[in-house]
Structure 1
Amino acid sequence: MSQNGHPHPERVKFIYNAQFPAATAVVLNYLLNNPHFTGRQGRQQGMDAMMAFYRPLAEEFHSELSVSEIQDMARHCVERLAKQIDDLCDRYHIANPVISYSVAPTPLSSTARLETILEELVVAVRGGGVTSPKSPAPAQMDIEQGVAMDGDELGDLGDILNN
């Protein structure tokens, strides 16, 4: 437990190393080195995208909000994600799959998979890194090669995990 009695640390540090040609490295490079915005803005945009998907799940796991508050948050996040989907579909002239998803219910296996991903994310954040058979963690992390983010760049995620 932390000093304030909460079961999580006061601050969460998120460092991720990615190497080309991995898709993660391509995305991080785009966010950090895009000429249309600063690296700080790129990190914030990356966090915003992650928050739009994981925030309701994280809040449910955190268990300090009511069901209706989490539902309102989830509704807001779905709206943000739908806008991102619309923007991608418009930019790349592809059909919007959200319309077909709204007709057919989401299978339970997808929900279970999301919960598993969330649990892995929480373990990684609390434990300081992700370890899996496919990508063993390096013995040492070189912060100069990673993306270091402080609480300011975490936005709402920092608030969730710091409260």
Structure 2
Amino acid sequence: MTQIQHDNHRARRLRDEAGNEPASGRESWGGQPLVVRLWGGISGRPHDLWLAACRLIDLQLAHPGLDAAFIAARLGCSRATLYRAFADRDLAVAGYIREQRLQRVWCLLHSLPASVPIAEVARRCGFLDSTSFSRLFRRRFGVRARDVRAGG
């Protein structure tokens, strides 16, 4: 199934940053898996947009440029429309991304070997600044990442 973006009731195939189209919907662009289904564009329901955005966030969590503009561009909607879809659930796009990243770090700290540095785990989840990551992690979970790694 090829990804389709609806634009003023005309459908067109999505392309990657280099302008390339995938041969099939099962392939990936730049090593990243595709979002299998996009929301229905102008006639799409906000719930469908929210689900597509959540799937895209999950797939692109390690991308340091993941933000509302990135998501809206990939899903073919405006940032305002994306913000409304999240606001309908009392969520903010940036807050949702941050929470998903922190949850992924938490899981990886429990599953990866201790030989993988915490800074590398954080980087794999989209956190480039280890100081702000540490502060966010402690604020969210009430413990330091190294204490979680140590089993505390």
The TM-score, its normalising length taken from structure 1, stands at 0.30
Q: Which structure has greater helix proportion?
A: 1
The TM-score, its normalising length taken from structure 2, stands at 0.31
Q: Which has the higher contact order (CA 8 A, sep 6+)?
A: 1
